[in-house]
Chains A and B, each alone.
Chain A
Amino acid sequence: MRRNQVAVVGAAETTELGVIPNMSQIQLHADAALNAIADAGLKLSDIDGIATAVETPQQIAHYLGIKPTWVDGTSVGGCSFMLHVRHAAAAIEAGLCKTVLITHAESGKSMIGKLPRSTPPDSLNGQFESPFGVFGPPSMFPIPVLRYMKTYGITHEQIAMVAVVQREWAAKNPRATMKAPITVEDVLNSKMIAYPFRILQCCLVTDGGGALILTSAGRAKDFPQKPVYILGTGESVETPMVSQMETFNSSRAFTTAGPLAFKEAGIAHKDVDHLMIYDAFAHLPLFGLGDLGFMPHEETGRFIAEGNTRPGGKLPLNTNGGGLSYMHSGMYGMYALQESVRQMRGIAPAQVKDARISVCHGVGGMFAASGTIIFTNEK
């Protein structure tokens, strides 16, 4: 894809985030979508492309009264929205549609109008993982951690620092769910969930949603908000079974999607002013820093522990507080994208001064899928 041909011209989250007991999942989609449409100064009838995950595009299109000529229902977990951005950018460039709405919402806490996730006993996961006691992401996603720690000499204290630093960012964000400062000791003494991870190393469970509107860069300058251009994109999938990853020392989906996006963007790592790495659990920023090529994996734990990603550090990471402290409705990728857009617009609560390039990296499932979007505010 060519650089900077498509821009985000509308971006918004649901009016409320956190616990939203008075709204069903589909209404959370609509709330985010209507906020994004207002942000872009558009009417519903201007939207001719729609993408969403978990809920079907037909459900969201009909509920909102949209008549699309381009549809994407890619649903690969929490990074689905990164893939939607990539697909929408290609579709807009190809002339398949002009103005795309991407929505995410999940009644992750209140569970209103949300289909339960289930694993059929005759699926491969149902035969070769479920019988061994996996029960939800906390019992699966951290399975690679001990191997990763042994291979690269990463310590429990270093991984605990991921949560500490992200709480520092969250403290600057009025919409963050958890703002009270925490220490490494707090993390390592918090309730055990699935050794080696404790509750402060696991994502929040909340309600909320977000939506993006994309159009061609040529039209973008006529919109009320500062355009945020799509500089580079990448995507991949590996396996729906965490036990079947090629290695626990790396994510193949990450090492495919990330470098694709950097190559397309034509940037070096030193050009990155702001970074989001989807943190469903505290090890993901370490995998991301290594797999995206910011540094060797051996250095990731020390890099974070030494404060390089905290407010004022040289590589601001997960500046909204992340899935650990900002919010996590189940598919967090949309909120990472929203924070990248805010940083590129210059309106983030914890704004990185003069940030021009933002890398936003998502994961889906338990390292099952990945999408990377690189944004810029300079054309």
Chain B
Amino acid sequence: MAEPARAKPKPTPETQHFWDGTAAGELRLQRCDACANVYFPPRPFCPSCASRKVSVFKASGKARLYSYVINHRPAAPGFTPPYAIAVVELDEGPRMMSNIIDCPQTPEALELDMKLEVAFEKLDDKITLPQFRPAKG
């Protein structure tokens, strides 16, 4: 029997551009044309000023580690404990949940505020997840 797979997102009309972006190797955010607010998760209006005039843009992919847990039990399907569940703060402002790859999953290695950069993990032809790894240099 195959290993159980990790939970896979199912895009909606409002989030499709984000998932198209990760599949293309881009982290896409939205910015309000009226008030310049950058926000996440995706929606076709600005949660700060309610304007429907918003634009999608490619984010830098740079972030810092805001906080995390190292999950031991119970583990989610498709994950081998211990693994970190992190919240990263993007340079553009919004925060998102992700995982930290290419890094020991230990409190010593996972230092708050460490610099991170986006990486992409392809699950299938439709879904690629944004992940983060310690920034090079």
- CB–CB A139/B69 < 8 A: yes
Kindly report which residue of chain A lies nearest to residue B73, judged by CB atoms: A193
Measured CB to CB, the closest approach of chain B to A55, in angstroms, equals: 25
Contacts of A19 in B (CB 8 A): none
Name A83-138 residues within 8 Å CB distance of B. Answer: 119-122, 124, 126-136, 138
Measured CB to CB, the closest approach of chain B to A35, in angstroms, equals: 34
- CB–CB A139/B41 < 8 A: no
Measured CB to CB, the closest approach of chain A to B89, in angstroms, equals: 10
Kindly report which residue of chain B lies nearest to residue A132, judged by CB atoms: B97
For A124, A136, A195, which residue has the most chain B Cβ atoms within 10 angstroms?
A: A195
- CB–CB A131/B112 < 8 A: no
Picked from B12, B19, B66, B67, the residue with its CB within 8 Å of the CB of A145 is B67
Name B90-126 residues within 8 Å CB distance of A. Answer: 95-99, 107, 112
Docked CA distance A69–B11 (Å): 42
- CB–CB B66/A248 < 8 A: yes
- CB–CB B96/A243 < 8 A: yes
Number of A-B contacts (CB under 8 A): 118
- CB–CB B82/A133 < 8 A: no
Assuming the A-B contacts A128-B97, A133-B85, A134-B97, are A146 and B10 also in contact, with contact meaning beta carbons closer than 8 angstroms in the complex?
no
Whether B35 is near chain A, meaning CB under 8 Å from some CB there, is no
- CB–CB A122/B11 < 8 A: yes
- How large, as a class, is the contact surface on chain A? 35 or more
Picked from B9, B67, B71, B78, the residue with its CB within 8 Å of the CB of A121 is B9
- CB–CB A147/B112 < 8 A: yes
Chain B contact residues, majority secondary structure? loop
- CB–CB A133/B96 < 8 A: no
- CB–CB A244/B41 < 8 A: yes
- CB–CB A121/B10 < 8 A: yes
Contacts of A126 in B (CB 8 A): 7, 9-10
Kindly report which residue of chain B lies nearest to residue A195, judged by CB atoms: B70
Assuming the A-B contacts A133-B76, A194-B71, are A128 and B96 also in contact, with contact meaning beta carbons closer than 8 angstroms in the complex?
yes
Picked from A122, A136, A150, the residue with its CB within 8 Å of the CB of B74 is A136
Assuming the A-B contacts A147-B66, A194-B71, A248-B67, are A122 and B12 also in contact, with contact meaning beta carbons closer than 8 angstroms in the complex?
yes
- CB–CB B76/A139 < 8 A: yes
Docked CA distance A120–B75 (Å): 19
Contacts of B129 in A (CB 8 A): 131-132
Measured CB to CB, the closest approach of chain B to A126, in angstroms, equals: 6
Docked CA distance A256–B40 (Å): 23
- CB–CB B97/A129 < 8 A: yes
- CB–CB A147/B11 < 8 A: no
Picked from A121, A140, A193, A195, the residue with its CB within 8 Å of the CB of B7 is A121
Docked CA distance A135–B79 (Å): 10
Picked from B11, B69, B107, B112, the residue with its CB within 8 Å of the CB of A143 is B69
Assuming the A-B contacts A136-B74, A139-B76, A243-B87, are A194 and B10 also in contact, with contact meaning beta carbons closer than 8 angstroms in the complex?
no
Picked from A127, A140, A144, the residue with its CB within 8 Å of the CB of B11 is A127
Assuming the A-B contacts A127-B41, A136-B74, A194-B72, are A146 and B67 also in contact, with contact meaning beta carbons closer than 8 angstroms in the complex?
yes
Measured CB to CB, the closest approach of chain B to A367, in angstroms, equals: 12
Picked from A130, A133, A138, A248, the residue with its CB within 8 Å of the CB of B9 is A130
- CB–CB B67/A128 < 8 A: no
- CB–CB B10/A127 < 8 A: yes
Kindly report which residue of chain B lies nearest to residue A148, judged by CB atoms: B67
Pairs A-B, 7 closest by C-beta atoms = A135-B76, A147-B67, A127-B9, A195-B70, A130-B7, A122-B10, A243-B97
Residues of B within 8 A of A (CB): 6-12, 15, 19, 40-41, 66-79, 82-83, 85-87, 95-99, 107, 112, 129
19 residue pairs A–B, Cβ–Cβ below 8 Å: A119-B7, A121-B10, A126-B10, A127-B9, A127-B12, A127-B41, A128-B96, A128-B97, A130-B7, A132-B99, A135-B74, A138-B74, A144-B67, A146-B67, A191-B73, A241-B41, A243-B96, A243-B97, A248-B66
A135-B77, A143-B67, A193-B72 are known contacts; what are 13 more A-B pairs with Cβ within 8 Å? A121-B7, A122-B12, A127-B12, A128-B96, A130-B7, A131-B9, A133-B79, A135-B71, A135-B74, A136-B74, A145-B67, A145-B69, A248-B67
